[in-house]
Amino acid sequence: MTETHPAVTAFLQTVHPYDNLPPDELARVARSFSRREYLPGALIYAFGEPLGGLFLIKSGGVEITDRNGALVSLLSARNSFGERGLLRDGLAATTARASEPSVVLMLPADDFRRLIDSSDAFARFFNRSRAGEPRAADFALMKVSDILARAPLACAPDASVAVAARLMRDAAVSSLGVTQDGLAHGQLLGIVTQRDLSNKVLAEDRDPATPVAEVMTQNPVSLTQNALGGDVLALMLERRIGHLPITDEGHFIGMITQTDLTRFQAVSSAMLVHEVAGARDAAQMAQVTARIPQLLAQLVGGNHRHEVITRRITDIADAVTRRLLALAEEAFGPPPVPYLWLACGSQGRQEQSGVSDQDNCMILDDSVTPEDMPYFQNLAAFVSDGLNECGYVFCPGEMMATTPRWCQPAQVWRDYFRHWIARPDGEAQMLASVMFDLRPIGGAASLFAEIQAETLEMAAKNSIFVAHMISNSLKHTPPLGLIRGFATIRSGEHRNHIDMKMNGVVPVTDLARIYALQGRLSPANTRARLQGAEEAGVISVTGARDLIEAYDLIASMRLESQAVLVKSGRRPDNYLAPSDLSDFERSHLRDAFVVVRTMQSAAGHGKGAIG
């Protein structure tokens, strides 16, 4: 049965990405759709069946289940489904049934693929991979909105120059916007700088009560947030100005200064690592690590891939740890026996973001004696305290080298892993999950190499241990709701948000760890583990690629959310409000969570792949 073309056209005009099509193309596409009606419970397609086309819900609801029958999503009007199978091999990757009386439109597969090839909007919407996106970090090509590093700071025109000076001093800035109401985002009237206060107030012996309006630069030249870094450079050089306000329809939204430009060029992970290497104490290193949020925002704004960003941020933590170890040895003398400092958690996986605590331990040479232990206890306290001062706060679970249990000879560590694998109770599963992410940071790396190889061999051969670890990995699930797409936090400070760490990144991290155990893979990094699992045949090529794409999207959106917080002057965290996302972003984030849940279901049923 064919829906009337005008009705389909009118409906498609309300659905992205069809709303981006030219009128003639939209009308042609509308004529290609066929209409299907389903009663509750009716099968639309089953897993593994050839797909005739892309499905679009006009009214009603559709229930999507994975190959094992587990519910992964409940879709409603304007949601599409079936695209993943079409883009892969033409076979259904899930099963779809009507959950209520429904009208579903179907676009033939050939028409769908033609649109993917001919329309950028379609390609962007239906292809979750970001591999083809430009990743240039050239300042001149960046948008001003990605360069702004702090929230706007303003005062009213009748504020005194003394008040303005105190505002600049307290915020450690060299200029203020002057707005009609004195508030950030108000209508911009002018700007006042430290040079204005020096040249027009102090040099002329004016009264500190002088209104800012008398010394400010009125109606200053400005740019919008859609301008490029090259525009900023050109305007500053042409006008010989050191402060450039950024406006949105005349409203003050931020300031870019020559200092910002210098800092932007200087703030790189390599530069921060260099400064850490020359620090004489933890206090100096803390001044360096305080710039990590700015580095995060800069790297996100430069369109670097998430794994590049987290690697560069982790490099700084590694450098801080190694410098603290060197300072500890200077303070306490050379170690009595060889030792190895290791990181676990996000540092161990090289996946640190703007929010990180410390997780670490020490392996000591088996020749260590009880008389040697005070040295290592002092060293552990020195390094752990220094990390805490640098912003890597103490682990709430005391998973640190300062805990005697986690500062032991190599043979004790071998016994730990043997016990956890032989008797995988709840604590063993938790500890194994942490300790299988170990990565050497400083000291004798050979102390870990043999332990790691032996442990992976034992773990892979023990099917009971692997089964328990799989069960443990399924405790964190993607935040998929049945009605609105996401299951958000219901109360408290983060009400109506989703936790992009515990319910986004962690479920993939847990799956990747299982694949690493099954494949005896040595990398600790999640993405490297997924790629290794594909190469080793632990999971199928399609399963691995789907999960990698899903992980890339989830991890990237987490970092983008943190960068937004940094640029607004707030501390980065892991919470994201779906309501802040566009329909496009919500749709793809939901699809990514569906992939993760499907892979969890496959792991729980003893299968490693989708399709």
Q: What is the DSSP string of 418-453?
A: HHHHHS--HHHHHHHHHHTT-EEEEE-THHHHHHHH
Residue 19: count other Cβ atoms within 10 Å of its Cβ: 11
Residue that wins the pLDDT comparison between 584 and 342 = 342
Q: Find out whether 88 and 542 touch, Cβ atoms under 8 Å.
A: yes
Please, which residues bridge with residue 84 across strands? none
For residue 1, the model assigns a pLDDT of 43
Kindly report the CA angle at 63 between 59 and 67, in degrees rounded to 5?
A: 145
Residues 6+ apart with CB under 8 A from 451: 363, 410, 413, 414, 417
What is the distance between the alpha carbons of residues 9 and 423, in angstroms, rounded to a whole number? Answer: 62
Per DSSP, 596 falls in state: H
| Residue 199, token pair as written in the block | 């040249």
- What are residue 51's phi and psi, to 5 degrees? -95, 130
For the stretch 305-325, pLDDT in tens is 898 889 889 989 999 999 999
CA–CA distance, 106 with 54 (Å, rounded to integer): 6
What are the angstrom distances between the C-alpha of 93 and each of 103, 198, 471, 546, 599? 22, 68, 24, 11, 11
Contacts of 95 (CB under 8 A, 6+ apart): 43, 45, 46, 47, 64, 65, 66, 67, 69
Residues 6 or more apart in contact with residue 302 via CB below 8 angstroms: 135, 136, 137, 142, 146
| Cα-Cα-Cα-Cα dihedral sign, residues 233, 238, 241, 244 | negative
Closest CA to 594 of 130, 128, 131: 128
pLDDT tier at 71 (50, 70, 90 boundaries)?
A: low
Give CA–CA dist 532/543, Å, rounded.
13
Range from 38-47, 295-304, 442-451 carrying the lowest mean pLDDT:
295-304
Domains and CATH numbers, the chain: 5-126 (2.60.120.10), 141-257 (3.10.580.10), 267-423+431-446 (3.30.460.10), 474-604 (1.20.120)
pLDDT band at 134 (very low <50, low <70, confident <90, very high): very low
The percentage of the chain sitting over the pLDDT mark of 70, rounded to a whole number, equals 92
How close are the terminal C-alpha atoms of the chain, in Å? 31
Asked if residue 257 lies in contact with residue 243, where contact means CB atoms within 8 angstroms, the answer is yes
Q: Which residues contact 31 (CB under 8 A, 6 or more apart)?
A: 5, 8
Strand partners, 409: 364
Q: What average pLDDT does the segment 330-338 reach?
A: 96
Burial class of 529 by CB neighbour count within 10 A (0 to 12, 13 to 18, 19+): buried
Amino acid letter for position 29: V
- Count CB atoms within 10 A of the CB of residue 138: 11
Of 13-27, 163-177, 194-208, the poorest mean pLDDT is in 13-27
- pLDDT tens for residues 556-569? 999 999 999 988 88
Of 210 and 426, the structure prediction assigns the larger pLDDT to: 210
What crossing angle do the helices spanning 109-118 and 23-32 adopt, rounded to 10°? 160
pLDDT-derived band at 133, boundaries 50, 70, 90? very low
Residue-level pLDDT at 411? 96
- The whole-angstrom separation of Cα 471 and Cα 278 is 46
CB 383 within 8 A of CB 339: no
Contact between 348 and 342 under an 8 Å Cβ cutoff? The reply is yes
What is the spatial order of strands in the sheet that 62-65 belongs to? Answer: 43-45, 95-98, 62-65, 71-75
Instruction: Return the closest-CA partner of residue 320 out of 139, 441, 199, 200.
Output: 441
pLDDT, residue 438, reads 92
Residue 482 has pLDDT above 80, yes or no: no
Cα–Cα dist 502/515, whole Å? 19
Q: What pLDDT sits at residue 414?
A: 95
Whether residue 176 contacts residue 192, with contact meaning beta carbons closer than 8 Å, is answered with yes
What is the residue-wise DSSP string for 179-206? ETTSSTTSBEEEEEEHHHIIIIIITTT-
Separation between Cα atoms, residue 10 and residue 315, nearest integer Å: 53
158 φ, ψ to 5°? -90, 5
Distance CA 527, CA 514 (A): 13
Q: What is the pLDDT of residue 355?
A: 78
The answer to whether the CB of 56 falls within 8 A of the CB of 85 is no
Each residue's pLDDT tens digit, 460-478:
889 899 998 998 888 899 9
Q: What is the pLDDT of residues 391-447, one digit of tens each?
A: 999 999 899 999 999 999 999 999 999 999 999 888 888 888 888 899 999 999 889
Closest CA to 385 of 333, 427, 426, 327: 327
| 497-555 confidence digits (pLDDT tens) | 999 999 999 999 999 999 998 998 888 999 999 999 998 999 998 899 999 999 999 99
pLDDT at 143 over 70: yes
Please write the tens of the pLDDT for every residue from 222-273.
998 878 777 788 788 767 888 999 998 899 999 998 877 766 655 667 778 8
DSSP state at residue 160: B
Q: Does residue 282 surpass a pLDDT of 60?
A: yes
Helix (H) or strand (E) segment spanning residue 250:
none
CA-closest candidate to residue 376, choices 422, 418, 340: 340
Tell me the C-alpha distance between 152 and 245, whole Å: 9
Q: What is the pTM of this model?
A: 0.68
